Amino acid sequence: MMVETAPLGRFQYQRLELKRWVPAFLSSHKTLFTVLWIAAFASVFVWQRNVVGGGFAVFWRVPMRPMPRLRPVAFNLTDFGGVGDGVTLNTEAFERAVLAISKLGKKGGGQLNVPPGRWLTAPFNLTSHMTLFLADDAVILGIEDEKYWPLMPPLPSYGYGREHPGPRYGSLIHGQNLKDVVITGHNGTINGQGQTWWKKYRQKLLNHTRGPLVQIMWSSDILIANITLKDSPFWTLHPYDCKNVTIRNVTILAPVIGAPNTDGIDPDSCEDMIIENCYISVGDDGIAIKSGWDQYGIAYGRPSMNILIRNLVVRSMVSAGVSIGSEMSGGVSNITVENLIVWSSRRAVRIKTAPGRGGYVRHITYRNLTFDNVRVGIVIKTDYNEHPDEGYDRKAVPKLEDISFTGVHGQGVRVPVRIHGSEDIPVRNVSFRDMSVGITYKKKHIFQCAFVQGRVIGTIFPAPCENLDRYDEQEHLIKHSVSQNLTDIDYDF
């Protein structure tokens, strides 16, 4: 945004005039007192505005930033009859706008601007070559009554609604078989108003699985940036079987307690994806990489692969900051998680699976992890026994291999490492390097292992379990492990 500046000559003239005027003005004690009183009164207004969050914005209104034009054609939601009063239902306005943009694909698509206001709506679909742009102070509100939410078939790689058999509720903002879609803005908000859904879920009043806040399926070239996603009924942002997805500068919020299954971002059978520079504080996993559930995921056969997650701050009091699984039956590979801070959480990073999943988790790299007041830092769990039905193959065991941790630091951690492999699902080729984590418990088995093979390079703290080979900093073998099958898992702390 261009800002007009005064010419230098005029500015110098004003300074000279000010020097002549100020001494004469302040010669009056009464006037000086009045000036100081007005300044103090104004400072109270400014302070109250900062504390209350804009309660006196009418006096101090900053000009709204203009909507940038990111497409050849741009519309405002008000052009289609939208009313941002938080009461009027705007579903038809969104649908008319999307229909107009759908006709512009050959011309480069169109942009839908959502101005400041509270725009209540039922679920609606996006279209290809579309930019959805939310102004600052723009809030898209999901209607709370589930009768407005359409039912959809279960995901083919799940074969089940996830919470109930049969169909599931669709997402508030949805897209299928799309290309070139952007959701962005001046940090406007998409609010699912999930409180009603969470209450009904706890009271077992829902007959179908709750819907995500934003779900994009079978699509490519997706960018989601510079927005806030809040209070989803279920998973917040769910890219499903998508390619070339970028999620950047996104804030995702839900209560850390009492907001069940409000995962932040769930890449599901996705390929070539970047998640970066995000803040996530939710009621379940901050990020959970998935690829289908048991026999349905094995049959669908679409892995999640080539995913980079970096520069995140995450909080999860119920689950983990960044998870892989537990639904990973299509396979997960080539994942990098780096520059991650997890604070005041139950777990920091976790891989979870079970017999019956099949698939694999391999070539996983963690770098520069910071844990601050976390119950368990690193978790690999192989008995996460949740299944869609009894039709799963109990002999379909996943493979876990080639997982490295480099640069793990932090404080206030109860159990820094818990790797719980099993005889049927051993964990292979795990490595640790440059690790120093301040612990809150002084028990013997702080670094817990079972059925794991791998190595420790250099000196790390706390002392590693005996299952792992020891190497020096130059990667020369110092000591072979006593037994890779040793078990010292202690869930009592």
Whether residue 379 sits in one domain with residue 474: no
pLDDT of residue 64: 74
Domain of residue 285 covers 95-388
Contacts of 429 (CB under 8 A, 6+ apart): 401, 402, 403, 453, 454
296: tokens are 């349905």
Considering the chain, what is the average pLDDT of its residues? Answer: 89
Give the pLDDT confidence of 363-404 residue by residue, as tens digits. 999 999 999 999 999 999 999 989 999 999 999 999 999 999
Whether residue 429 sits in one domain with residue 384: no
Give the pLDDT confidence of 471-489 residue by residue, as tens digits. 999 999 999 998 999 898 8
The CATH code of the domain that includes 155 is 2.160.20.10
Is the per-residue pLDDT at 182 higher than 70?
Answer: yes
Q: Calculate the CA 255 to chain-centre distance.
A: 14
pTM, 2 dp: 0.87
Whether residue 220 sits in one domain with residue 100: yes
Q: How far apart are CA 232 and CA 484, in angstroms?
A: 42
Contact present, 236 and 208 (Cβ < 8 Å)? no
> In the structure, what pLDDT confidence band is assigned to residue 9 with cuts at 50, 70 and 90?
very low
Asked if residue 125 belongs to a domain, the reply is yes
Best CA proximity match to 307, nearest among 232, 247, 369:
247
| Of 388, 409, 436, the domain-final residue | 388
- Is the bond into 269 cis (omega within 30 degrees of 0)? no
365: tokens are 């790299």
For the chain, the domain total comes to 2
Give catalytic residue positions. 284
Give the pLDDT confidence of 12-55 residue by residue, as tens digits. 434 434 344 434 433 444 443 344 444 443 443 333 333 333 33
Q: How far apart are CA 290 and CA 293, in angstroms?
A: 9
> In the structure, what pLDDT confidence band is assigned to residue 443 with cuts at 50, 70 and 90?
confident
- Give me the phi and psi of 476, to 5 degrees please: -95, 135
